[in-house]
Amino acid sequence: MSTTVTLQSKVGVFAGAALLRLVLFAAFPSLPDLLTGRVEISTPVTSFKRLQEGLFLYNHNVSPYDGGVFHQAPLLLPLFSLLPDVKNWPIFTALLYILVDLLSAYALLVIADSGEAGQSKHFTSPRRAKRSSGLLVAAAFLFNPYTIASCIGRSTSAFTNCAILFAIAKALSGSPFNSMVAISFASYLSMYPILLLPPLVLLAYDRQSDKRRIDSAVQFSLRAILIAATCISLLLAMSFALTGNSWDFLARTYGIQLTLSDLTPTVGLWWYFFIEIFDSFRAFFLAVFWLHLVIYVGGLSIRLRTQPLAVLTILLGIFAVFKPYPSISDTSLFLAMLALYRHLYPIMRYTYVASATMLYATFLGPAFYHLWIYAGSGNANFFYAITLVWSLGQSLFVSDLTFAVLRDEWEVERPDMVGKEIRQI
């Protein structure tokens, strides 16, 4: 009886989310283009308008990578050229994006139902009983306004997010091969997910199925890395063949993320910094910013060895703040993962401050951007200030989650401290 109820409610949530998106697509035909033009949703590396331009050039035998507009992975081009022209048949593109969102939600459902958030191989949370149900997590993702906006805005980061979630879901369900393939796809599309590889390998190692078990961690990770490397090389080789035997696409898709040559405003911290930085320090600070992004991977993986899923969640949060071209789509992924840790909410300290800050930035961001770009009554500092607030709010969430995860771990040793004030020394 209860299974049919949950099945029904699952179908209800998924159908409701799909219907909501369809209605938005159909009832407001100008909304997708409006949202596509927003800097909060479309970044130079995920913009749908740029994808269309790349597609147009690709279909007219001009290499899209011989220009400064298109910075997305080559394999997206044949995928989208299969679809009917978006100008005449926008519904097919809309359906594709809705499908991708539903798939991501399904992956989240699997992740939540696996119970990894509350109980991993080496750690069992005393609070796991209160963890959120899969349906709730999926619904939180599907009905998150950030997710809906990036879906309607047709940002290609939806594909990356879906691949990341599937990589995690597959690692949890004991199929490391599929997980590695999925993370390779994500890395191929956006590059930064390659940094998720270490915690993902740990997660897959912890959750191996008994049938094909590899006990040696070194052997397992070598195999996993080999699979990922092979898969990525395969994808790159296909792209090489697809773009007329040229490696130009590497510099255009990944090089731009490394050098930040396109300074279009985003919600992140990089763009204004690299507009204003003195030319002689540009290379140095690019290295520092990237190093800063990479450095969390090792530290978190070691410190939170017992909870690789928590590491992945925290890393996704960090990437949503500090990667070169972040958008609200990355935030929506982090918030979806955050929903898995509902049992930790009571020990998080700044949820109110952090969420209020993010809401504040969400409403003021578009207003300040308008003041700068359209009204002319503000300058670039207005929008820059709001991106600072947004980043601070989000990083507060990330560090608060980290604190909660660590305290949860600590309370296993010190059950007497539950509910008491603690200090860190």
Q: Where on the chain is the footprint of another protein (CB under 8 A)?
A: 37, 39, 49, 52-53, 55-57, 60, 62, 66-69, 261-265, 269, 271-279, 292, 296, 299-300, 303, 318, 321-322, 372-374, 379-381, 384, 388, 391-392, 395-396, 398-399, 402-403, 406-407, 410, 414, 417, 420-425
CB nearer to another protein: give 22 or 380. 380
Q: What's the min distance (Å) between Cβ of 277 and another protein?
A: 7
Cα separation, 320 vs 393, in Å, equals: 12
Q: What's the min distance (Å) between Cβ of 201 and another protein?
A: 20
Q: What's the min distance (Å) between Cβ of 71 and another protein?
A: 10
Q: What's the min distance (Å) between Cβ of 161 and another protein?
A: 22
CB nearer to another protein: give 52 or 327. 52
- Three-state secondary structure call for residue 6: helix
CB nearer to another protein: give 166 or 296. 296
Q: Indicate if the alpha-carbon torsion angle 65, 67, 73, 78 is positive or negative.
A: negative
Burial of 423 (0-12, 13-18, 19+ CB in 10 A): exposed
Cα separation, 135 vs 106, in Å, equals: 9
- Nearest residue to 259 (alpha-carbon basis) of 280, 278, 285: 285
CB nearer to another protein: give 222 or 422. 422
CB nearer to another protein: give 101 or 408. 408
- Nearest residue to 188 (alpha-carbon basis) of 247, 225, 235, 240: 235
Q: What's the min distance (Å) between Cβ of 423 and another protein?
A: 5
CB nearer to another protein: give 114 or 327. 327
Cα separation, 55 vs 23, in Å, equals: 27
CB nearer to another protein: give 205 or 372. 372
CB nearer to another protein: give 57 or 224. 57
Could you give the C-alpha distances from 230 to 15, 50, 69, 203, 252, in angstroms and in order? 37, 29, 29, 20, 22
Beta carbons of 27 and 133 less than 8 angstroms apart:
no
Q: What's the min distance (Å) between Cβ of 225 and another protein?
A: 25
Which element (helix H / strand E) includes 394? helix 380-413
Q: What's the min distance (Å) between Cβ of 314 and another protein?
A: 8
Q: Which two tokens stand for residue 100?
A: 């991708």
Could you give the C-alpha distances from 378 to 225, 369, 392, in angstroms and in order? 49, 8, 22
Q: What's the min distance (Å) between Cβ of 137 and another protein?
A: 24
Beta carbons of 298 and 195 less than 8 angstroms apart:
no
